[in-house]
Amino acid sequence: MGTLNTLTLTDAIRKLHNNEITLDALYADVNSAVSSKNSALNIYLAQDKYAEKSAEKGTLSLLRGVPIAVKDNFLTVGLPTTASSKVLDGFMPPYESTVTSKLKKAGGVIFGKTNMDAWAHGSSTETSDYGPTKNPRNPEHLPGGSSGGSAAAVAADMCIAAIGSETAGSIRQPSAWCGVVGLKPTYGRVSRAGVVAMGSSLDCPGPITKTVEDAAILLNVIAGQDKYDATTSPVQVPDFTKMLKTGVKGVRVGIAYIDHEKLVGTPAAKAVEQAAEVLQSLGAIVDRVPLSQTLKDNTILTPDYAIGVYTVVQRGEVSSNLARYDGIRYGHDRTHFGDEAKRRIMLGTFTLSKGYADKYYVKAQQVRSLYIQNFRQLFSRYDVLISPTSPGYALKLGASKDNPMFGELEDMLEEPSSITGLPGINVPCGHDKKTNLYLGLNIVSAQWNEGLVLRAGYAFEQNTYWNSWLKKDK
């Protein structure tokens, strides 16, 4: 048995292109990884039996037929799509999401659908109606979520690359916990058409990959305006691989959030300080951005309020978006909703109700615009902001139980950039040898600045030893 399943996307494409490896051998290794690990880790909910057959058709295209794992909230023709909810158990989509259709056109193969928190409601993948996914780095721990299955599929080398979606943290947080790369693009950069909606003003599909270069390749494929999604932007899509390797010399980096009471003195804060030193040694201009409780120039607004803003906005949109699942046209009736979905529907319904909307939804949108103002000012002074992706290492299985605000607290460091639609990437920045668990660095930039986020992530990744795939090469 070979180890071609451990290839990065960049390497797999290159080796397939140069005929150094065959698709047969690649698929054999990926399949064998899946058969040996899937039952224990519970990553794939569905797999395409004919994946390799489809791969042969893509050999001359950009992605060369490589197997890609896709989160189960992307509609895929021929593969059931459930968003990990029993409401959609057995649902066969009549159409294809824009993202998966772009992947296919570029020669990618939708190898399988990955487990997630039901409806993407959570940060643990424990709320899935199909059982939790386990962290491949340490199966006693959670993979994070909601794109936990996709991050785990990458970490376990059960695919070459993966696609996830983020509302606030759902790409970056599981990527941090699984020790992989996860990119959340600018809201509107990637089409939401054909993605089961969670928080429509926040949802954002993005790549979860082994390396930053892999993420740039996939972003090239999936980005762009879509006539089926009115919120996608006509802003031009650059070639994200082009500027990737130009370094961070002169890039202005702000260190954010590590003076928050929840982070002071933690391994996550220390890892970010070390990361800042690495970037500085590479020529970046590094500075600390003080935390502030009010809107003030050159300070960063505490993420504490973002938890409230995010919770109110997202629950409101959830209560609306789940209204269509009445079981009349497709799927099963409402009795199949799990507890977390029911909680969110009730809270969202309440916050949008007459007499309460002003107090909650409208108020939340007002605070949301304060964050937009804050970032606008900060990005006139800094090119990127760095912070821990998650306050700590992956928590143990069961940690999310009886904690309805689990995700909101775990993702508090992503929420300000999510509610403002900014791009951000997680790259591994620390590793605990005892537990084999990872810490993640969150690099955020201004709207449409994924190029810079990727560049900084690449520079960091190439000059540190945290990336488990690059380490092997050295």
**Known catalytic residues?**
71, 146, 170
Closer to other proteins by Cβ: residue 300 or 322? 322
- Closer Cβ to other proteins, 282 or 357, answer by number: 357
Measure CA of the first residue to CA of the last residue in the chain; give whole Å.
Answer: 22
3-class secondary structure, 183:
strand
DSSP 71: E
Q: How many CB atoms lie within 10 A of CB 185?
A: 26
Taking the complex as a whole, how short is the minimal distance between the CB of residue 301 and other proteins, in angstroms? 22
H or E, element range at 460: helix 450-462
The structure tokens listed for 46 are 């569905």
Nearest distance from C-beta of residue 18 to other proteins, angstroms: 38
Please, which residues have CB within 8 angstroms of residue 108's CB and are 6 or more apart in sequence?
58, 63, 65, 66, 68, 221
Residue with Cβ nearer other proteins (323 or 409): 323
**229 vs 304 by CB, closer to other proteins:** 229
Q: How far is the CB of 328 from other proteins (least distance, A)?
A: 6
Q: Which is nearer to other proteins, 58 or 93 (CB)?
A: 93
Residues pairing with 252 in the sheet: 285
Please, what is the minimum distance in Å from the beta carbon of residue 91 to other proteins? 8
Phi and psi, residue 331, nearest 5°: 70, -170
- C-alpha 62/C-alpha 205 separation (Å) is 20
Question: Minimum distance between the CB of residue 101 and other proteins, rounded to whole angstroms?
Answer: 12
- To other proteins, the closest distance from the beta carbon of 118 in angstroms equals 13
Residues that bind other proteins in the complex, under the rule CB under 8 A: 74-75, 81, 83, 88, 91, 93-95, 97, 192-197, 199-201, 227-231, 316-317, 319-320, 322-326, 328-330, 349, 352-354, 357, 361
Q: Would you state the structure tokens that stand for residue 195, as one six-digit string? A: 């993605």
The least CB distance from residue 321 to other proteins, in Å, is 9
Report the residue number, 352 or 399, with the smaller CB distance to other proteins. Answer: 352
Q: Identify which of 220, 209, 245 has the alpha carbon closest to the alpha carbon of residue 12.
A: 209
β-sheet bridge partners, residue 288 = 255
Structure tokens at 184: 């959340």
Q: Which CB sits closer to other proteins, 285 or 330?
A: 330
Tokens standing for residue 58: 């893509």
State both tokens at 38: 């899937």
Q: Is 78 left (phi over 0), alpha (psi -120 to 50) or beta?
A: left
User: How many CB atoms within 10 Å of residue 456?
Assistant: 28
- Give the span between the Cα atoms of 76 and 72, in whole angstroms: 9
